[in-house]
Amino acid sequence: MKLSELRRLKEETNEIFSNIGTEKSRQRLVYDLLNTLKTKDRNRFMWLILKNINTVITDEKIGIRVKKYSDFLAEHLMSYEMEENFEKIAYAIIMGIMSVEKKKESEGGEEVVKNE
């Protein structure tokens, strides 16, 4: 997998996961994903990602983007048999999730998502 594809995957993951859950839930997910990566369980890794992105599919605004993202994941995670590629893809996804930063808006107290 090319470096440009990994960067794109990290950015897309960041965008998708900025609309999912709380900071604490993303931290738990990252922990679960890292443990799954350690055991090299591709099926569980994919299941965890799909389970989490399924929560935003009902939002029409981001639903199309999530579908494209899940198609991209299916193509790359399930088709590459080389362990090296799985690890690269998995780390790009994990770093994308970790780079989502939440901060509170001082006026209304609503959570605002800030991506870096």
Sign for the CA dihedral angle at 29, 73, 60, 11 comes to positive
State yes or no: pLDDT of 87 exceeds 80.
yes
Across the chain, mean pLDDT equals: 78
* pLDDT of 33: 96
Is residue 59's pLDDT more than 80? Answer: no
Task: Give the confidence band of 84 by pLDDT, cuts at 50, 70, 90.
Answer: low
In this prediction, residue 112 carries a pLDDT of: 46
Does the pLDDT of residue 103 top 60, yes or no? no
Q: What is the mean pLDDT of residues 12-38?
A: 90
Residue 97 Cα distances to 20, 23, 85, 88, 90, angstroms = 10, 10, 19, 14, 11
